[in-house]
Amino acid sequence: MRSLVLAIELAWWQQTVLRTIGVLAAVLLPAGTLVYVFLFKMMSFMQSRLGPMEAGPYGSMQLLAEVGKWIQKEDIIPWRADRKLFAMAPYIVVMTVFLTYVGVPFGPDAWFADLDVGIFYILAVSSISVLGILIAGWSSANKYSLLGGLRAAGQLIAYELPMVLAVVGVVIQAETLNLQGIVAAQHEGAIFGWDGIGNPFILTQFVGFLIFLVALQAELTQTPFDMPVAESELVSGYMTEYSGMRFLLFFIAEFASAGAFAAVAATLFLGGWALPGVDLDADYMNVLGPIVLLAKIMLVAFLVFWVRFTYPRFREDQLQQLAWKVLIPLSLVNILATMALKVAY
């Protein structure tokens, strides 16, 4: 099988086309699944209602109907807005999600780019999305939009630090930044000499995992960290003036980045595309790996959306205090403890 598949020699542009289609699928499929399963159905069940039921069996085509509706809508740009930047902003946000997925491995040979700097690259490109949000807020020429953009920037800057620091613990344990290396380190690791399930870093880096999840929630601006789009105060924050296709792009970016960060969390802490007991180099992992990773994405995303549908919104000062006075000191202690244990063992 391997010889058969690998015997096909593809030109560089053919590989690029295939990878582009692959990234499109990797961005859109989890995003659509998250919207249907969590936003449409799980939220409805938590609120004792059925959610969409009409479009398709059990409402499963509802998302397509919504996309069709948004595409038809008129593209309105406010008269006083900075037209070019207003039009550009959603594309910046969506682009960063695509770039994030580029770094995530799905199997031994199923990756878009096997980067030496792996997780560091992902953290770097995901930090660009703030720029799109700031530009969207400013160029709308609307005070609610501007306030939403500023809140988003303040929040994302504050929570980027604990996220990076939480990842450092994992990197110290795995001794590599490369995500394939991190997957392999978890698969081949052992817990006090017992290597039955490898060593998924959620066990040894549990504090890091918790910090990462909280920072994740804030980076995705999901409730309780949704002050940038707080409907009751800011209409819809930086998205207020957007309609039609451009709003759809923001919407896709929100859920696609939830999927992307869930994939990163799954790779860092839950063993990525590997399962205990499988052969990491086996060919079938290229097919099984993406399915395993998708299952783990759904697991992490379930936690994110569970919290989103459960808790009310923070106040702005509570948000900043949590980041600077709790999460950052905690993650620094976590790094010190990991370093000490790494040197000791």
Partner 1 sequence: MVAQNIFFYVIAAVMVAAAVVVVTNRNVVRAALALIVVFAGVAAQYILLAAEFVATTQVLVYIGAIMVLMLFGIMLTRARIGQDPEMTNERWWVGLITALLLAGVMGYALIDHFGSDPLPEDRRLVAVGGSNTATVSDAIFSQYLIPFEVISVLLLSALVGAIVIARKDR
Chain positions contacting partner 1, by CB under 8 A: 80-82, 85, 115-117, 120-121, 123-125, 127-128, 130-131, 134-135, 137-139, 141, 146, 149-150, 153-154, 156-157, 160, 176-178
Q: What is the closest distance, in whole angstroms, from the C-beta atom of residue 129 to partner 1 in the complex? A: 9
Q: What is the closest distance, in whole angstroms, from the C-beta atom of residue 288 to partner 1 in the complex? A: 28
Tokens 């199923």 found at: 110
Residue placing its CB nearer to partner 1 in the complex, 15 or 310:
15
Q: What is the closest distance, in whole angstroms, from the C-beta atom of residue 96 to partner 1 in the complex? A: 10
Q: What is the closest distance, in whole angstroms, from the C-beta atom of residue 137 to partner 1 in the complex? A: 8
Q: Where are the alpha helices (DSSP H) in the chain?
A: 2-6, 12-34, 43-46, 62-72, 83-102, 118-126, 129-139, 143-174, 179-188, 201-204, 206-219, 231-234, 244-269, 285-310, 316-321, 328-344
Q: What is the closest distance, in whole angstroms, from the C-beta atom of residue 51 to partner 1 in the complex? A: 37
Residue placing its CB nearer to partner 1 in the complex, 62 or 257:
257
Rounded Cα gap, residues 336 and 341, in angstroms: 9
Q: Give 238's contacts (C-beta < 8 A, 6+ positions apart).
A: 133, 134, 136, 137, 140, 145, 148, 149, 152, 228, 229
User: Contact 162/328 with Cβ under 8 angstroms?
Assistant: yes
Residue placing its CB nearer to partner 1 in the complex, 128 or 298:
128
Q: What is the DSSP letter of 35?
A: I
Residue 199 main-chain phi, psi, to 5 deg = -140, 75
Residue placing its CB nearer to partner 1 in the complex, 149 or 169:
149
Residue placing its CB nearer to partner 1 in the complex, 80 or 325:
80
Residue placing its CB nearer to partner 1 in the complex, 32 or 78:
78
Which residues partner with 194 through β-bridges?
191
96: enclosing H helix or E strand: helix 83-102
User: Contact 280/274 with Cβ under 8 angstroms?
Assistant: yes
Q: What is the closest distance, in whole angstroms, from the C-beta atom of residue 111 to partner 1 in the complex? A: 15
